Structure 1
Amino acid sequence: MKKLNDAFTTLYNGDNIVKLTELRYMPRWAVLLIDLLIVLVSIVISYLFLEKLHVRINFPNYIVWQRLLLIVVNVFFMFVFKTYAGIIRHSTFFDFFKIILSSGSTLFTILLLNYCTEFWLGKSLYLYPNLFLYFFISVSVMFFFRMITKQFFNILIDVKGSASKTKVAVIGVGDASVSLARAILHNPNYPYRLEGFLTKRSDSHKAVLLGHKIYNSDKFFKNSELVKQFDAVLIIKEIMSKHELEEWMTLALDHGLKVLKAPTVSKMRDSDLVGGIRQLQIEDLLNRRPIKIENKDVIIRHADKAVLVTGGAGSIGSEIVRQVAQFSPSLIVVLDQAESPLYELELELLEKYPEQKFKFVLADISNNYRLEKLFEIYQFSMVYHAAAYKHVPLIEENPHEAIFVNVLGTKNVALLSKKYKVNRFVMISTDKAVNPTNVMGASKRTAELFVQSLQNSEGNTTKFITTRFGNVLGSNGSVIPHFKKQIEKGGPVTITHPDIIRYFMTIPEACELVLQAGTMGSGGEIYVFDMGDPVKILDLAKRMIKLSGFTPEVDIKIKFIGLRPGEKLYEELLSNDATTVPTHHEKIMISKDPTVRFDEIEVLFKQIIKSAVRRDKVQVVTLLKKIVPEFISNNSEYESLDKVKIDAVERVATENEE
């Protein structure tokens, strides 16, 4: 009653604008009042119908009492089944079922009363056609009232928020697409408004789905006025091939539409479907189907075992830790020299895996004494060596630091793994170690050679394994986060060369490869991964700019800054003189690279570490070129060392001829 008083007060004071869009639901007393009115109208109609057919009713003198009794019984069952209690704008089949129960119980009660009056008085209180007609009319009108009210509220909410909603076209007309569209329609509070469907089929242009048109993509994108009625296209990524995804994305972006992606089909049943809609990211286009690994072998290798992960706070190392934690090892020691990332990872892992035992160690792998204490105490079964310096320009300027971490650090961890009889040592390497053109790549190739040399060294029982990856999506310092920051600042997006290309893989995918490699082979192998097709960085930048809602070279400029010291136009996973051997997994191969004996590499390691201690950059790089003969500097101050080497080779060749 207070709401009615407020309404009359508002009207009396002169504010005659009825704010219908402020309504959230219809009060229960109003629903009950309308249902009572429907009962009255249904009784009147049913009696009028019989009257028009000239049917005589029983007990005409008591017609008012008959009708009153029918109303009382029906209202009683309305209270029993609470037909008025639901929020009408969220009505479902369950609400319709309650109406059926209420009216059906009323019908059953009156039929029972009819049977009694026939037994006692010789004729029924109500005519049977009258009762069934009343039942049909009342149920139909009550249900119709709820559907109309529900649609009315939806329209009000839609009108209220239509200006701020994103008008979307759902791609496809399959079950998953229809489920997504239905979720948008049934949740008017979400910030999306369904405007239609898009498909490549040409036989559906006259059909209507969920009350919305189905547009053929070719005709749709040719009609600029039609395209302007939409803000975005909505894609379910998992039901499309990579080619289809790229095709739809290109069409949409070229016509000024945003590209949104919905959650996976499996998540539609378990989570907030529409709330999970996000803008398509460049990672979605670069992602490939993940490797399917044999988890049984991985579980056996880690369950109840002590595991060490060096570089554990980095992009690859932290993901290895997360995946290993799923296999219930007895202990995971996470080692890193970066204090803040290590602490953040500790907070995350302790919350996510409360039952798993962790040890977080702040240490530098070049400190052999610090490392040995860990090996001595924890007796590791598996060692994942992910610690490394990886940024090409920085290492080119500071080659001695690469020796301390990538070379000396690897030597320390590998030798301790041998000494303490670790079952398997898995080193994470990089495609930049293949035919290196920079100090970073050469230092990683040097580390590979040392690890391989240990396999057949005297007294060794550890299986030494190496894995090589290309670029990892989203890793610290990688190109995609760098481009995102530049786009957010308004550009320019800087690219070193218009023809530069790179391979990409996801962090989980890379780590699955590492775990699988830890269960394969007899040791000494270098595992490489089928990386798929390379990506041109210029195309990558243009797509990222478009996905951010800008136009390349108009809103965001692209600037070419030249190759950085030591940078290649393209990366390789295999050296020129390497051959590959297939494994039981079609995506994983073994690279048969040249190796060096342990006694030979040990002498060279001592020399290069001494040079690094003296901070002798030239001597360090000279020795790297001696250890890795295929190391030819590119766009670097060390190119002169290659010229000296070439001149020396030519001089020796001339002397031999003479």
Structure 2
Amino acid sequence: MFWQSVDAFLTRIRPHRQGLSLAIDGVLVALGWQFTYLFRLGFERWLSARPSYDHGVLVGVAACYLVVFRLLDVPKGMWRFSGFGEIKRLLLGCLIAGSVSAVVVLMAQLREVPRAVLMLHPVMVLFGVCGVRILYRTVYEHMRMQVSGRSTETRRALVLGAGDAARRLLAGIQHEGWVVVGLLDDDPAKHDARVAGVPVLGPMALLPEQAQTQGATHVIVAVPSAPMAVRRRIIDLAAGTGLTVLTVPGARELQDGQRVPLRDIQPEDLLGRDPVTLDEGGIAEVLNDKVVLVTGAGGSIGSELCRQIARYGPRHIVLFELSEYALYAIEQELSEKWPHVPLVRLIGDVKDPDRLREVFARWRPQIVFHAAAYKHVPLMEEENALAALRNNTIGTHCAARAAAEHGVGRFVLVSTDKAVNPTNVMGATKRAAELAISALATQFPATSFMAVRFGNVLGSSGSVIPKFKEQIAKGGPVTVTHPDVIRYFMTISEAARLVLQAAAIGRSGQVLVLDMGEAVKIVDMARDLIRLAGHTEEEIGIEFTGLRPGEKLYEELLADSDSTIPTPVAGLRVARMEVDADLPGRIAAWLRENENPPDRSDHAVKQRLRVLVPEFTSS
């Protein structure tokens, strides 16, 4: 308790460190002057033999030392880190100040000041200022050992939140070199209480004041159960301190008895909305002990689907992926985290119907999640339109038809909000894919075909977040297409769970959409990432480059003509698309025309897409 009180006292005076350092050094200069006289004249004469103007000389000498120390930034030195570099700075300061003082005294012809005092005084001062710093460092390291079990400097944290997550957090990090100096919580009942021996200092509004008073180096947000809007407000408050901000995972990721880990603030923490709660029991019933095939298994969405599926105990997960490296990476991860889930690792192209029929005939999957797609809007808009059509539309039809022919129970297409009133090739090919599986739904009633639409996925390949982070790391500028562009966002985990939920509750021919809350301005997301990286907009600028070909200012989740109905899962709705009776015939003819078209130009591809998707408009 004594050493904790000492630590608290040192923390309180830390904001005044430079002034205190100068004051102590001034006292040591005066004491050095007295000891020098004592050493030179002895006890009998060290007071009586001084000249009458000695006090004035001492004030001038002390002022000289303090000015020189100030010019050499001696007060900025942190005593708990004092080492050889600090001693060299003090040695230089004493030599300069001692020499200047001696020269001034001699030039003033103050002959009664002993020359030996002028020569020895800098040595005495050097011993004093070095000694007090070494003593402070010794005491400080002993105090650190008593308080935290480590003699080295620790990270000092203020924790926002004083609930169960904070209690479990304290149980772990205080043995890992952290010193938690206090907690802040808006619940008045918790004020002046203690959590694991750490005081609750008051409401969160006191954070700026307490961060300075307590000498905090980090702020930890420990409110995993709070609504997302509240978490966003707390993160904004923490970011305003200029300190490093860490957080604990969300309530869903934490398990009872589990040690609470720390992580950096992620973009998903800034969404400001609560994730949709899904029907875990229904998903488990659909996936448990089933053979599940995932196309594009190594991609951003496909790999997260595999991770989520593995949690429900499938009989096999068939990983179907064109990229050798992506397949290897997801296979290694799944094998390490879920070693008891059997994996089938297959290289294959969804545009190869023979390979698909071979795979379906051998492994007999009961559920297929189709995540293989090209999704980068500008990349598909120019020079790659035919590749997008073949992969996103024809590839979907090949995979869906092979699934139906081999008795697959459920086929789930991962679609996009860009399929609604598309203005780009990627969105148009995805809308065409939705129509293709709608047509198959009328031809193969034994298989349930469904699609899932969602907005932009945070952190997925090709998304803005990795690009922004890379630009910030390089010093900027961060490029945003337009100051008014808005997007709907969700996390990769949430997107994957939505797809799994579609498999559980969806019916053939349906498109499921998520209530994604408020759209987010891309420029606001960029500003948040700059701030969380510890920079300002003055340091990392934002540059507007203009909308790219095919890009909208805003995205839609439902077309105007779509009708929606609620589902048992809050936040999910179903859009049943209008399907013409002649759609299967039109789709079949359209697919034959586009398998090997005579005109492969982007313009021709867009023209053919408009035949099937008349609402498609492009620049």
Is the Cα contact below 8 Å between 2:157 and 2:179 reproduced in 1?
yes
**Which residue number in structure 2 is paired with residue 564 of structure 1?**
548
Letter in 2 for 1:242: M
Mapping for residues 137-536 of structure 1, pairs under 5 Å: 155-156=144-145, 164-178=153-167, 180-181=169-170, 184-185=173-174, 187=175, 190-200=176-186, 210=197, 212=199, 214-218=201-205, 221=208, 223=209, 226=212, 229-262=215-248, 270-273=257-260, 276-286=261-271, 288-397=273-382, 398-457=384-443, 460-536=445-521
Q: Which residue of 2 aligns with 1:627?
A: 612
User: Following the alignment from structure 1 to structure 2, what is the Cα–Cα distance between the partners of residues 386 and 460?
Assistant: 22
1:338-393 deviations in Å (ceiling 9; x for gaps): 11011111222223333322211111111112111112222222111111100001
Describe the shift of the 1:217–1:316 C-alpha distance in structure 2 as closer, same or farther (beyond 3 A): closer
| 1:575 alignment partner in structure 2 | 559
Q: Secondary structure at the match of 1:519?
A: helix
Equivalent residue number for residue 589 of structure 2: 603
Distance in 2 of aligned mates of 1:279 and 1:211: 23
**Deviation at residue 303 of structure 1 after TM alignment:** 3.6
The offset of 1:444, in angstroms, is: 0.3
Which whole-Å deviations, capped at 9, do the CAs of 1:474-502 have from their partners, x for residues lacking one? 21121112211111122111111111111
Q: Which runs of no fewer than 5 residues in structure 1 stay unpaired?
A: 1-150, 634-638, 640-658
Deviation at 1:311, TM superposition (A): 0.7
Write the letter of the residue equivalent to 1:316.
I
Cα deviation code 1:562-590 (max 9, x no counterpart): 11111111111101211111112222111
Residue 239 to residue 618, structure 1, CA distance change in 2 (3 Å): closer
- Find the counterpart in structure 1 of residue 10 from structure 2: none
Which residue identity does 2:157 align to in structure 1? V
On the 8 A contact 2:296/2:372 being kept in 1, the answer is yes
2:229, 2:272 within 8 Å by CA — same for their partners in 1?
A: no
- In the TM superposition, residue 254 of structure 1 has moved relative to its aligned partner by 2.3
CA distance in structure 1 between the partners assigned to 2:162 and 2:339 by the alignment: 44
Equivalent-residue separation in structure 2 for 1:443 and 1:202 (angstroms): 56
Q: Distance in 1 between matches of 2:148 and 2:448?
A: 67
* TM-score, normalisation: structure 1: 0.67
How big is the alpha-carbon RMSD for the aligned residues of Structure 1 and Structure 2? 2.9
Q: Structure 2 length normalisation: TM-score? A: 0.71
- Residues 435-466 of structure 1 deviation map (CA, whole Å, 9 limit, x = unaligned): 11100000000110111111112x54211111
Contact 1:386 1:428 in 2 (8 A): yes
1:271 & 1:440 partners in 2: Cα distance? Answer: 43
What CA distance in whole angstroms lies between the structure 2 residues aligned with 1:321 and 1:160? 43
Query: What CA distance in whole angstroms lies between the structure 2 residues aligned with 1:627 and 1:202?
Result: 62
Q: Could you tell me how far 1:508 is from its partner in structure 2?
A: 2.1
Question: Do the aligned partners of 2:161 and 2:223 also contact (CA within 8 Å) in 1?
Answer: no
Q: Quick check: 1:590 aligned with 2:581? A: no
Residue 515 of structure 2 aligns with an amino acid whose one-letter code is D
TM superposition shift of 1:207: 7.3
Counterpart contact for 1:231–1:258, Cα < 8 Å: yes
Question: Which string of whole-angstrom CA distances, capped at 9 and with x for unpartnered residues, describes residues 193-221 of structure 1?
Answer: 22333344679877787465714444553
**C-alpha displacement at 1:227, in angstroms?**
6.0
Q: How many angstroms apart in 1 are the aligned matches of 2:378 and 2:155? A: 44
**CA contact under 8 A between 1:579 and 1:593: conserved in structure 2?**
yes
Preserved CA contact (<8 Å) 1:312 1:386: yes
Q: Check conservation: 2:162, 2:190, Cα contact below 8 A.
A: no
Q: Distance in 2 between matches of 1:343 and 1:471?
A: 26
Superposition deviation, residue 626 in structure 1: 1.9
Using the TM superposition, give the Cα deviation of residue 154 of structure 1 relative to its aligned residue in structure 2, in angstroms: 5.7
Cα offset, 1:229, TM superposition = 3.0
Separation in 2 of the partners of 1:291 and 1:247? 20
State the shift of 1:284 in Å.
2.0
**Matched AA of 2:358:** K
| Secondary structure of 1:402's aligned partner | helix
Change (3 A) 1:396 1:243: same
CA pair 588-208 structure 1, distance change in 2 beyond 3 A? closer
Retained in 2: the 8 A contact 1:282–1:547? no
CA distance 1:335–1:205, shift in 2 (3 Å): closer
Structure 1 residue 179 displacement after superposition: 5.2
Compared CA separation, residues 172 and 478, structure 1 to 2 (3 A): same
1:110-163 Cα deviation digits (max 9, x unpaired): xxxxxxxxxxxxxxxxxxxxxxxxxxxxxxxxxxxxxxxxx9966436599788
Which position in structure 2 is the counterpart of 1:3?
Answer: none
Secondary structure, in 3 states, of the residue corresponding to 2:314?
coil
Give runs of aligned pairs for residues 641-656 of structure 1, distance below 5 A.
none
Correspondence for 2:18? none
What is the SS of the residue equivalent to 2:565? strand
Q: Does the C-alpha gap of structure 1 residues 257 and 600 become closer, same or farther in structure 2, counting only changes over 3 Å?
A: same
8 Å contact from structure 1 (residues 527, 588) kept in 2: yes
Using the TM superposition, name which of 405-414 and 235-244 deviates more. Answer: 235-244
Distance 2:337 2:448 in 1: 31
Tell me how far 1:166 sits from its aligned partner: 2.7
Aligned counterparts of 1:164 and 1:310: Cα–Cα separation in 2: 51
Aligned residues of 1:471 and 1:504 also touching (Cα < 8 A): yes
Show CA shifts across 1:384-410 (max 9, x none).
111110000110011000111011111
- Per the alignment, residue 555 of structure 1 pairs with 539
**Letter of the 1:407 counterpart:** T
- Distance in 1 between residues matched to 2:227 and 2:602, nearest whole Å: 49
1:89-168 alignment, distance < 5 Å = 155-156=144-145, 164-168=153-157
Q: Distance in 1 between matches of 2:615 and 2:151?
A: 64
Describe the SS at the equivalent of 1:407: helix
Residues 584 and 218 (structure 1), Cα distance of their counterparts in 2 relative to 1, 3 Å cut: closer
Partners of 1:229 and 1:299 in 2: CA distance: 49
| TM-fit CA distance, 1:509 | 1.7
Counterpart of 1:456 in 2: which secondary structure?
Answer: helix
Does the CA-based 8 Å contact 1:308-1:384 persist in structure 2? yes
Q: Is the 8 A contact 1:287 1:505 kept in 2?
A: no
